[in-house]
Structure 1
Amino acid sequence: MNRVVITGIGIYSCLGTSLDQVRDSLFQGKSGIVFDEERKIMGFRSPLTGMVEKPVLKGILDRRQRIGLAEQGEYAYLSTLEAIKNAKLDEEIIDRNEFGVLFGNDSSARAVIEATDIIREKKDTTLVGSGSVFQSMNSTVTMNLATIFKLKGVNFTVSGACASGSHAIGIGYFLIKHGLQKGVICGGAQEINPFSMGNFDALSTFSVRVDEPTRASRPFDKNRDGLVPSGGAATVIIESYESAVERGAPILAEIIGYGFSSNGGHISQPNVEGPVRALEMSLRDAGIPASLIDYVNAHATSTPVGDMYEARALDSVFGGSKPLVSSTKSMTGHECWMAGASEIVYSLLMMQNDFVAPNINLETPDEDSAKLNIATKTVEKNIDTLLSNSFGFGGTNSSLILKKVK
C-alpha cells in the first residue's frame, strides 16, 4: 500500500481568492456572506449567499478554452493553477506521471437554463453556441481541466451532493494507495448563480436573517434558522509519498483515512447512524483511535436537524476525548459540491499555521452541541491529526483524516 500525501492546494472562495487571503480570513473569523440584490429581484425567500469575484480569463486562456468553461469551471481553473504552482508541478512532470483529475460537482444550472431559454425564444438550437454542451454537463469541470492541463490519468466527476468534493479526494486517495495512479488533481467546484439555488430556496432551507448577512450562518447555535448557500472552487493535489519525495515536492500533509457510508433512510433527513459509520470507518482505515484526532472540521451547515444529528454522531465517536470542533461554514456558508474539498484546504491552512478557526455566531449552544468542544474564538493550537466531515442529500457521508508529516 502506498502512502498518500498532499503536495499542493488552491482556493477560490468567498473568504478570498488566494491561500494567503483565506488563511487570514479564517484566523480573523471573517464572514464572506452578503445580501444579493439579484436574488431579491427574482423573488427568493432568502437573498443571502457567499460571493466571489468573477474571473477574467481573457488573455490567460484562448477563446476555445474559455467558451467551454462553465462558471464553476472558471473557479476550478484558478484554484488548480494555484495548487499546481505550490506543488511545484510542470507540464513535463504531469505528463511523465500521468496525473489524473477527480472533481466533485453536482450541477451546472446556469448553462442548462440559458441554453433552454435561447431554444424556447429563438426556436433555433444552433444559436445556443458550440461551448454550451461542455458547460452544461455535470462533468464540465473535469473535462475542461483535463483538456487545459493535458492530464492523462483518471478523469471523471464525482456527483455525491454536498459530499462530492470530499468523495473526490477519497477516491483519489484509494487509487494512489492501491498503486493505480501516482498523482491526482482532486477538488470540488460550486456555481454561485441564483439559478443553481432556486429549488433549494423553495424548500425553505435557507436562513432569512437578511438584515444581518454575516451573522446568518450559525452552525450549532440554538437560534439557527437555515443555511446560506455559497460556492467557488478548491483544489487538492495528491500523490504517492514515493513520487513526491522523488521529485522533491513539498509535502503538506498525509491522508491516512477515508470513511464513507449511506444513511439508508430518508432522502433529505439525516440520521446519527450513517455519519457514525463513516467516522468509524475513517478511523479504522487510518489505524488510529478517536483520541488522536486534534480537530474536527464539522459538516454542520446551520440547519436545525442536520446540526443536531451531526453533534450526536460526533459525541458518540469523540465523547471520550472531546477534540476541538468548528464549522467553517459559519464564515463561508454552505459551499455545497465544493465544500468537502474547500474544508480540507481550510483545515490544512489551520494545520500549517497552528490555529483552529472559530465557529462564529455560536451564541447559545443547543442541548446536543453543548456536549462538543466547539471553538467559538480562534484558538492557537498545534494540530497533528484532523478529521473533516461532509454529508449530503440521499444520505451520502464522507470523512477524511489528515496527519502532519514531520
Structure 2
Amino acid sequence: MSKRVVITGMGIYSCIGTNLEEVRQSLFEGKSGIVVDESRIGFGFKSPLTGMVPTPNLKNELTRRQRISMGEESEYAYIATREALQQANIDLTYLETNEVGILYGNDSVSKAVIEATDIVRDKKDTQLIGSGAIFKSMNSTVTMNLATILGLRGINMTISAACASGSHAIGLGYMFIKQGLQDMIICGGAQEINPYAMASFDGLGVFAEDVEHPELASRPFDTGRTGLVPSGGAATVILESYESAVKRGAPIIAEVLGYGFSSNGGHISTPNIDGPALAMRRALEQSGIGAEDVDYINAHATSTPIGDANEAKAILEVFGGKPFVSSTKSMTGHECWMAGASEIVYSTLMMQHGFIAPNINLKQVDKELEELNLVSSTIKREFDIYLSNSFGFGGTNSAVVVKRFNNE
C-alpha cells in the first residue's frame, strides 16, 4: 500500500510573524525578525541577538489545569496548531471522532528544568515544585500537552534530532501516512526562546555579534558571516492521506513527494558534504523525480562558515547550479528544533503565492560557491517543486520534497 500524502493546513508562530499572512508578507519583503535582547547581556551572553516572539496569552482559551503543564514551546505549538487546524477545516468534534496522530520535533526544555531545580535548591522541598512541572520539563512536553488538549488518539511521539527535529517529524509523518498506518497526523517543530536554552550555544562562540545592526547579523553564504543567530517559536503542518482529504472536502495546499535522511557518522558538531548529499539523493529517489525537476531549495544554511560551505558543495554535487537557493534563516535566524517545520511552511507559502524569498544580507559569495544560484532579492516566480534541507548536531540530516498539488 502506498498512499499520496498531502498538506491540508499550516500554522506558524515566528519572529517574522505570528500567523500565515504576516509571515507571507515578511518573506516577500525580506524582513528580518532579529533583535537585541538586553537581558542577555546581563545574563553573561557574548551575543545578545535573537529572533523574538511575543509571549502567548491563553487564559481565554485553555483552562488553568491545561495551562499549568505547558511551557513556552507548548504554548507556541498550540497557537501554530490552532491556525493549522482552522485552515484544514478540522474542529474538536472531528478530532474526537477520528484517529488523528501527532509527531512534533523538540529537543530541549531548559527553562522548565532549571526553574524546578532552583525551587528545590532554595526551599529543599520537592512538593513546592508544583504538579505541572514534570509535564513541562520532559522533551515530549509538546506532544503530551497537545494530544491531551485536542483529544488525539493516533500516533503520539516527540522527535528529538537537534536542528533537524521538525523536518524529521514531517518526514516520519509522511512515511506513516504513505504506508497506510494513519490517515492524518499533526506534524511540526517547536523551539523555546529563553536565555537558558541558548547559554551553552553562546558559550561555544558560534553566535554572530553584530549588536549595532541586528537585522544584518544573520548572513548565510556571505563571506562576511560570523555565526548564527538563535531564534524560536513553532510551526505546524497537517499531513493527510489524499483519500482522507478528498473525503472531507478539505483544501489541499501541496503534496509531500519524498523524505530523505542520513547520518554523517563523523564529528559531533562539524557537518560534512557526503551526509547531506545522501539525504537529498534519497529524497529525490523516494519522490520519483530527477534533480532537474527541483525549482527551489530552502537551504539549512545557518550563517556559519563551515556549515554553509559544506551544504553548498553538497547542493552543487547533487543539483549543479540550476535550482534557486536561499536560506530563510537570513530573516528568522536559526529556529533550531522548529526550523525544519517552519521552513516547510515558509517554502509552501512562497510556492502558493508565486515568489522566492531572498537570502538577505548577501553581499559577496565565497568564490568556491559562486556556481550556486543564490537569490539575494525577492523573485516573483511560479514554481512547482522545492526541497527543504535540515541538518543537526550529531550529523543527523533530513531533506523533504514538496510539490504544488495537482489532481493527477
Shift of 1:92: 3.0
Other-structure match for 2:329: 329
Q: Map 1:277-288 to 2 at 5 A.
A: 277-288=278-289
Other-structure match for 1:196: 197
Shift of 1:383: 1.3
Encode CA deviations 1:118-160: one digit per residue, 9 max, x unaligned. Answer: 1101111111111100000000000000000000000010000
How far apart in 2 are the matches of 1:213 and 1:21? 20
Encode CA deviations 1:205-257: one digit per residue, 9 max, x unaligned. Answer: 10011111000000000010000000000000000000000110000000001
Amino acid at match of 1:346: Y
Other-structure match for 2:404: 404
Shift of 1:370: 1.4
Amino acid at match of 1:356: I
Shift of 1:384: 0.3
Shift of 1:90: 1.6
How far apart in 1 are the matches of 2:198 and 2:7? 32
Amino acid at match of 2:341: A
Q: Secondary structure at the match of 1:98?
A: coil
Shift of 1:97: 2.9
Other-structure match for 1:121: 122
Other-structure match for 2:353: 353
Say whether residues 1:170 and 2:171 are aligned partners: yes
8 Å contact kept, 1:311–1:368: no
Other-structure match for 1:245: 246
Q: Map 1:135-150 to 2 at 5 A.
A: 135-150=136-151
How far apart in 2 are the matches of 1:238 and 1:17? 21
8 Å contact kept, 1:232–1:335: yes
How far apart in 2 are the matches of 1:356 and 1:117? 46
Amino acid at match of 1:245: V
> What percentage of aligned pairs have identical amino acids?
64
Amino acid at match of 2:65: R
How far apart in 1 are the matches of 2:295 and 2:368? 20
Other-structure match for 1:268: 269
Amino acid at match of 1:404: R
How far apart in 1 are the matches of 2:209 and 2:218? 10
Other-structure match for 1:77: 78
How far apart in 2 are the matches of 1:400 and 1:95? 30
Encode CA deviations 1:367-398: one digit per residue, 9 max, x unaligned. Answer: 23312001000001111000000000000000
Shift of 1:349: 0.3
How far apart in 1 are the matches of 2:191 and 2:88? 23
8 Å contact kept, 1:83–1:236: yes
How far apart in 2 are the matches of 1:151 and 1:322? 43
Shift of 1:259: 0.1
Say whether residues 1:373 and 2:370 are aligned partners: no
Encode CA deviations 1:295-349: one digit per residue, 9 max, x unaligned. Answer: 0000000001100100000010111x51100000000000000000000000000
Other-structure match for 2:341: 341
Amino acid at match of 2:121: R
How far apart in 1 are the matches of 2:362 and 2:276? 23
Q: Secondary structure at the match of 1:197?
A: helix
Other-structure match for 2:102: 101
Amino acid at match of 1:4: V
TM-score (norm 1): 0.99
TM-score (norm 2): 0.99
Moved over 3 A (4+): none
Encode CA deviations 1:181-221: one digit per residue, 9 max, x unaligned. Answer: 00000000000000000000000010011111000000000
Other-structure match for 2:260: 259
Q: Map 1:211-226 to 2 at 5 A.
A: 211-226=212-227
How far apart in 2 are the matches of 1:392 and 1:66? 31
8 Å contact kept, 1:97–1:183: no
Encode CA deviations 1:265-311: one digit per residue, 9 max, x unaligned. Answer: 00001100000000000000001000000100000000011001000
Other-structure match for 2:88: 87
Say whether residues 1:384 and 2:351 are aligned partners: no
Q: Which blocks of at least 5 consecutive residues in structure 1 are unaligned? A: none
Amino acid at match of 1:329: K
C-alpha RMSD of matched pairs (Å)? 0.7
How far apart in 2 are the matches of 1:234 and 1:281? 24
Amino acid at match of 2:273: V
